[in-house]
Amino acid sequence: MSDDKSEARTDEFGNCAVITPHRGKRPEDFATERRMKTTLPSKCYFCPGNEKLTPPEIDRTEKNGKWEVRCFPNKFAAFRKDCPKAYGRHEIIVETPNHYKTISELDGENILHYLQMVGKRVKSAYSDKRIKYVQVFKNEGHEGGASLEHTHTQLVGMPFVPEDFEAKRKYASGEKCALCKVKRNVFAQNSEFIAFVPHAARFHFEFWIAPKKHSMKRLGEGQMKELADILKVSLSKLDKLVNYPPYNILFFAAPPNEKDFHFHLCITPRLAKWAGFEHATGWVMNSVVPEEAAKALKNTKI
């Protein structure tokens, strides 16, 4: 694609985007200035020593006698067991006790323990028969929606299945599963997973991570290690390329009664704001060509 031509794209994942490349812009030109954290660890709700500032702990993973990953209810929960009109649960998972690190800067063991905690909490949420769907998501950085600086993930269990998940069944289920057929824009892979940029990516340097084999509902220990590895590699490339941008990580996994769904993660960097066109049409203007984004991520050394 030449730099002076726009192209309207739809892809097999239901994305709709107008690719509007800027003349002369290189991927490195989208690099942000990494926002320095201003809250001191002594004042941080999520730092070691301040555990009393959060609601009572639900679960933790320990290393050398200290917590490494910690889970507790969200103090300002959107869904609660005592709320009949918004029944459910809303939890916080703190990935690391280190106030200044984000996921790409953690070691592989720490990321593995974090993902294992996510899996454990999802299973616990579904033990409540009134909860029909669990959404796990991570907001990194102010522009990514994080209200607190210490890196953390949220889990929401709700009494209904959202319409957006219903739409995902169209591309992530059955013999026509699009995630099973990904060939283009793959920039990282290992024995179990691939990381790729969608053909009609809605965000600058957006990428997805999916298992190579269809419908992994419960990951084995080896698979979980491979997921931790590719998540670290992919986020390290993104952080190196555009200097630790704000982003979201969205986990998409089927409810227990779902017979056929291809688990995957979507990582959506927040390097541009959606405006009137996006909100009015459902289409997104993306000035980074997905093929070039995949090439830049692949070529980024970490």
Q: Is 28 contained in some domain?
A: no
Q: Considering the chain, what is the average pLDDT of its residues?
A: 93
Q: Residue 164 falls within a domain, yes or no?
A: yes
Share of the chain above pLDDT 70, in %: 97
Q: How confident is the model at residue 30, as a pLDDT? A: 81
The total domain count for the chain is 1
- Tell me whether strands 59-63 and 66-73 are parallel, antiparallel or unpaired: antiparallel
- For residue 123, give the amino acid letter: K
**What pLDDT does residue 203 have?**
95
Q: How confident is the model at residue 128 (pLDDT cuts 50, 70, 90)?
A: very high
How confident is residue 234, by pLDDT bands cut at 50, 70 and 90? very high
pLDDT tens-digit series, residues 133-175: 999 999 998 889 898 999 999 999 999 999 998 889 889 998 8
Domain encompassing residue 206: 8-17+38-299
Contacts (Cβ under 8 Å, ≥6 apart) of 81: 87, 88, 89
Amino acid at 9: R
Whether residue 281 is predicted with pLDDT greater than 70 in this model: the reply is yes
Tell me, what's the pLDDT at 24? 54
pTM for the structure as a whole: 0.94
pLDDT of residue 72: 98
- Residue 23 resides in a domain: no
In a domain, 25, yes or no: no
Cβ 213 vs Cβ 282: under 8 Å: no
Taking only the tens place, the pLDDT of each residue in 40-73 is 999 999 999 999 999 999 999 999 999 999 999 9
Does residue 208 lie in a domain region?
yes
How many angstroms separate the CA atoms of 97 and 84, rounded?
34
pLDDT for the residue 2: 46
pLDDT higher than 50, residue 93: yes
Q: Is residue 275 part of a domain?
A: yes
Residue 211: partners with Cβ closer than 8 Å, 6 or more residues away = 192, 193, 223, 262, 263, 264
Contact 18, 7 (CB under 8 A): yes
- The per-residue pLDDT for 1 is 46
Q: Where are the alpha helices (DSSP H) in the chain?
A: 108-126, 163-172, 221-242, 276-281, 290-299
Q: Six-digit token pair at 219?
A: 């990951």
pLDDT at 23 over 90: no
Residue 215 scores a pLDDT above 70: no
The CATH number of the domain holding residue 124 is 3.30.428.10
Helices (H), 88-199: 108-126, 163-172
Q: Give the model's confidence band at 224: pLDDT under 50 very low, under 70 low, under 90 confident, else very high.
A: very high
Instruction: Flag whether 30 is in a domain.
Output: no
The stretch 104-130 carries a mean pLDDT of 97
Task: Say whether pLDDT at 249 is over 70.
Answer: yes
Phi, psi of 8 (to 5 degrees): -85, 125
Residue 239 clears pLDDT 70, i.e. is over it: yes
Residue 203, domain member (yes or no): yes
